[in-house]
Amino acid sequence: MLPFTVNVRLNAPVYEQIIFSVKKAVLSGHLQAGDPFPSVRQLSLECRVNPNTAHKVVAALTVEGFLNVRPGIGTVVALPEGVNRQRQRQLLQDDLERLVVEAKHLNVSEELLMQTLKKHWNKIGDLP
């Protein structure tokens, strides 16, 4: 089982969605530096993507400093230099933008959106 969740949507390439999910898991603390990361084969099987796509994901995350590939040991999670609140806000910004666009598309009022957001915020409570 993957140590992160990918919610596949039709409006973006799958590899970008996997990359986003991994970054989000690292920046939220669900994946810690040094944690083992799935092999390209395992990532390919569990995300149901071509091995070339899985390799592209691992390569991109390695270049960005989210993964370290250690020959003979495997791939492990890394914390990129300069990880800070600004990177966290950037990832959150993407989710919020999608939420607002979808709400406007559905003609949801700002008031209802905020009430629903607050309801979910309170329901989830504190995360580890």
DSSP strand E in 6-124: where? 36-37, 67-70, 74-77
- Report whether pLDDT(112) > 80: yes
Three-class secondary structure of residue 97 per DSSP: helix
- Report how far residue 110's alpha carbon sits from residue 103's, in angstroms, rounded to the nearest whole number: 8
pLDDT at 124 over 70: no
The strand pairing partners of 86, in sequence order, are: none
Taking phi first (over 0 means left), then psi (-120 to 50 degrees means alpha), and beta for anything else, what does residue 102 get?
alpha
- Is the pLDDT assigned to residue 27 strictly greater than 80? no
Q: Which of 68, 96, 92, 94 is nearest to 80 (CA)?
A: 68
Cβ neighbours for 88, distance < 8 A, ≥ 6 positions apart: 27, 28
Of 12 and 67, which is predicted with more confidence? 67
What is the average pLDDT score of the chain? 85
> Which one is the CATH code of 14-77: 3.20.20.70, 1.25.40.10, 1.10.10.10, 3.50.50.60?
1.10.10.10
Write the CB contacts of 96 (distance below 8 Å, at least 6 apart in sequence): none
0.75 exceeded by the pTM? no
Q: Report the alpha-carbon distance of residue 20 to residue 16 in Å, rounded.
A: 6
> For the segment 46-81, what is each residue's pLDDT rounded down to a tens digit?
999 999 999 999 999 999 889 999 888 899 999 877
